[in-house]
Structure 1
Amino acid sequence: MITLPTRRHFLHSSLSLSTLLISGAAQAQSASKKAGKKGYATGLRGAVTPTKLSELNVKWIYNWTSKRPAGLPEGIEWVPMVFKDNENQFAAKAVEEIRGDLANKPPAVLGFNEPEGKDQGNTTVEQALAVWPKLEELNLPLGSPAGVHADSPWMQAFMKEALKRKYRIDFITIHWYGGPSASQLTSHVDKIARLYKRPVWITEFCPADWSATKTGKNQHAEKDVLRFIKDALPRLERSNDVQRYAWFGTGPGNSATGCSALFDASGSLTKLGEAYAEA
């Protein structure tokens, strides 16, 4: 059994995928891009209601569930997710819920969320592989599991075996929580795109300070995150590797990520939210 590091302590090193045979794999399907790249990952709780999303000028959202949110503004796509698979057979239930929503034409389906995280997807490689054909049967563009780190041992083991079994994985999903450096983000995206030979969706990202212990003690000032937004988003829009990206919908009170909140506690756009909307 693999013991995995936390996001804070993970060292960004990759195991070799030299034995990963992808030359004979089928060409990955192109996931829908008609809605545009810019999105938002949000739980739609509290002051940030679905109607508030139109203020962000985003083209798509997801909310880590297989249930379509009510009241979504016109022109914003929703992407379902199969969050996990465990003893509760969550994946099977989620797949059926997504199947029941196919008339609404979701543009894609996202695989398991941080499956190596005990308080997140908490799904073993074997469990994920066992249920993956059910996700393929939805006949939607299909995103990989979103590892805590896209090059983690869990992700590399899953990808190696999935491709060996000729399972369909149309794009790789990435989570990124570094400092306010656009070049750091795009370098990581390039690395993962080369590693798995697939296009990328960044389904969670924002500058974060994992050493912060309380609100207001985050090392990243608003001006630094603002500069990051203005620098990073044009790069992501230009990137041939990035099909979509979604800012993490953090609240302003989160010690690690509150520096990147796009909405304040009342549900109004912050300066960062205004910049994200305008980008």
Structure 2
Amino acid sequence: MADDATRAARTDEATVRAARAGDQRAVDTLVAAYLPLVYNVVGRALQGHPDTDDVVQETMLRMLRGLGELREPARFRSWLVAIAMHQVRDRHRRRPPLADAVPEDVADPGADFADLTILQLGLSGQRREVAEATRWLDPDDRGLLALWWLEAAGQLDRDEVVAATGLDRAHVAVRIQRMKAQLETARAVVRALRATPRCLDLAALTAGWDGRPQPLWRKRLARHTRDCPRCGRAWSDLVAAERLLAGAALVPVPAGLFTGKLAVGAAGAAAAAGTTGAAATGTAGTVTAGLAPATGAGAGALAPAAGGGAAGLLAAKPVAALVALVVAAGVAVGVATHRDERRPATAPTAAASTVVPPTAAATTVGPTTAAPSPTAAPTSGPPAAPAGVRTAKKGVSTTPYPGAAGALADVSASWYLTWSTEGVGAPAGVEFVPTVWGAAEAAPDRLRRIPGGSGPLLGFNEPDLPAQANLTVEQALDLWPRLTATGRRLGSPAPATGADLAGGWLDRFLAGAKARGYRVDFVALHWYGSDFGPAAVDQLRRYVTAVHDRYGLPVWVTEYALVNFAGTPRYPTAEQQAAFARGSAAMLERLPFVERYAWFALSSRESGDTGLYGPDGTATAVGAAYREAGQG
């Protein structure tokens, strides 16, 4: 089932009733809230085929045209998903069989919906494997996959899945079990094919294969993985797909995808309905391109659209055509063209230096007091930058560089880390927390270099990634007694992803530590959001909360920011990053089980568009926001 944030984003029965009565805002809200859902149903069912946008267009047009005939507004979502699936099946009936299709009619496996899912949601590890494995399913199962994926993500419930298929509940359950078995087999195939160096027998088997995922080849390769001792390892440690997909976001709707298609298709449909341009404007005489703001997964999917609403997704002409269809169907809608200039809400910044006391659960850093405000004196120079907000939780990560000490003093952090056991000469009152980065740093002579004291110590850095600490759970557990011997308060290894997953790297490490009687005092984790809209703050909150709920330990967020690491790293605008810095800091201050958090990173030279200070030592827009953030 969906959580409260997702449930709140879904249009309720009252909104559907208002839309049926011709309320322009309610109609806008329906489109804004449900276009991402329809796009994900159709896109995954057709595996990103070029016809996807046409089928989505037809689904939305049919929704608006039939809205007045909907007898049970409470079942609007179920009704809309059933329309989408009907359009998918209709498309399959109208298109020629794949064997007779021209090459251009076959989706490029490198640019299909699985690829979009990986890129847009920044999937990695086993979540990425699940997305890649969907390419190998039988074509007849793709529609069911689309529905089950959304059910696992909390976007649909089983009753809605059953209604969309048109089958009885027992039959649907059997088909889902069969499809999940195929998906698990495909995950093992994906793993075996990605292993380096490749198994020689597997290389010989695939010598005549064209590289396209196909059910026949899935069966052949799966048979090999079961019989081959080396490739058989691909079946181990598979986390249940439902757990991996829980809470997964919707793939965002491409802002430019529907502009041309909807303009042509909807305008043509309006003309066929005999509606003139004047009639299309409705009783208000104008046409809207604006959408009411949405929250949750739907809002995140719409966030990248230029202008913040339908102006970025549907041009005025296609919206006019859609309205024309609604009028022709007997639902009068009057709307106005505009661009929504609203920006993501941000927490208020402090106008003067403020010290926020730590929560009861926070590790305290030493008393800090607000400096007395001197009497203002006339000055001809530029106004001084507002002093920041310092809290016991607020920190930052950095590597050594010439301006680090000055930036640490200015950013109002109470502590910092360097991913090593050596600090950067920070000003008084800013605590250095050393990190045992990997196996080499856990050597006895290296551990002896850690400055004396009884402060906290951070464990291995992203041991689940080959490019970072690259440790198996067993290797980390074997080294752990060396860290506990320091006597310091000890943080867990910080995995790159999946800290909340049953069977994930951190879950297995903490279970092993408990079995061996090893001490772990708090959980350290990293989080990077690929959703650049306002929903990112709540996504971080849910992740941190899920980690705490699973292990019952205090939490340190030792790296976080908004970055999409799929392919070449992509960053939000400075305004989006700054809004997230303010909102996330305020949220983390309010969570009693979060002891500390550290932004990535202090210098913009090392962190692209997440950096807080430029090469000249001046705070970036993000740096200014983080400096003043921290008011819970």
Q: TM-score, normalised by structure 1?
A: 0.80
Contact preservation (8 Å) 2:365, 2:414: no
- Structure 2 vs 1, CA of residues 93 and 84 (structure 1 numbering), >3 Å: closer, same or farther? farther
Match for residue 167 of structure 1? Answer: 518
Q: What's the offset of the Cα at 1:50? A: 1.9
Match for residue 527 of structure 2? Answer: 176
Task: Tell me the SS of whatever aligns to 2:525.
Answer: strand
Task: Tell me the SS of whatever aligns to 1:61.
Answer: strand
Q: Separation in 1 of the partners of 2:567 and 2:411?
A: 27
- Structure 2 vs 1, CA of residues 253 and 76 (structure 1 numbering), >3 Å: closer, same or farther? closer
Match for residue 67 of structure 1? Answer: 422
- Structure 2 vs 1, CA of residues 135 and 234 (structure 1 numbering), >3 Å: closer, same or farther? same
Contact preservation (8 Å) 1:77, 1:107: no
Question: Alignment identity in percent?
Answer: 33
Contact preservation (8 Å) 2:612, 2:620: yes
Unaligned runs of 5+ in 2: 1-117, 129-152, 154-237, 241-360, 367-391
Match for residue 195 of structure 1? Answer: 550
1:116 is the counterpart of 2:464: yes
- Structure 2 vs 1, CA of residues 147 and 270 (structure 1 numbering), >3 Å: closer, same or farther? same
Match for residue 568 of structure 2? Answer: 213
2:582 pairs with one of 212, 224, 230: 230
- Structure 2 vs 1, CA of residues 89 and 177 (structure 1 numbering), >3 Å: closer, same or farther? closer
Q: What's the offset of the Cα at 1:33? A: 2.4
1:9 is the counterpart of 2:128: no
2:506 pairs with one of 149, 155, 162: 155
1:32 pairs with one of 357, 360, 363: 363
Q: Separation in 1 of the partners of 2:449 and 2:621?
A: 37
Q: What's the offset of the Cα at 1:220? A: 1.3
Contact preservation (8 Å) 2:611, 2:623: yes
Which string of whole-angstrom CA distances, capped at 9 and with x for unpartnered residues, describes residues 55-86 of structure 1?
100000010111233x210110000111111x
The structure having more radius of gyration, on CA atoms, is: 2
1:260 is the counterpart of 2:614: no
One-letter identity of the residue aligned with 1:202: V
2:399 pairs with one of 37, 40, 43: 43
Q: TM-score, normalised by structure 2?
A: 0.37
Unaligned runs of 5+ in 1: 17-29
Stretch deviating more after TM superposition (163-172 or 147-156): 147-156
Q: Separation in 2 of the partners of 1:134 and 1:90?
A: 7
Question: What is the root-mean-square deviation in Å for CA atoms of aligned residues?
Answer: 2.6
Q: Which has the higher contact order (CA 8 A, sep 6+)?
A: 1
One-letter identity of the residue aligned with 1:116: D
- Structure 2 vs 1, CA of residues 32 and 220 (structure 1 numbering), >3 Å: closer, same or farther? same
Q: Separation in 2 of the partners of 1:119 and 1:161?
A: 24
Mapping of 1:76-155 within 5 angstroms?
Answer: 76-85=430-439, 88=440, 90-98=442-450, 101-102=451-452, 105=453, 107-149=455-497, 150-151=499-500, 153-155=504-506
Q: Separation in 2 of the partners of 1:174 and 1:201?
A: 6
Q: What's the offset of the Cα at 1:106? A: 5.4
Match for residue 19 of structure 1? Answer: none
Match for residue 138 of structure 2? Answer: none
One-letter identity of the residue aligned with 1:115: P
Aligned residues: 248
Q: Separation in 2 of the partners of 1:136 and 1:66?
A: 15
Which string of whole-angstrom CA distances, capped at 9 and with x for unpartnered residues, describes residues 207-256 of structure 1?
11224637xxx4511111121122111111111120000001165467xx
Q: What's the offset of the Cα at 1:202? A: 0.2
Match for residue 27 of structure 1? Answer: none
Q: Separation in 2 of the partners of 1:106 and 1:81?
A: 14
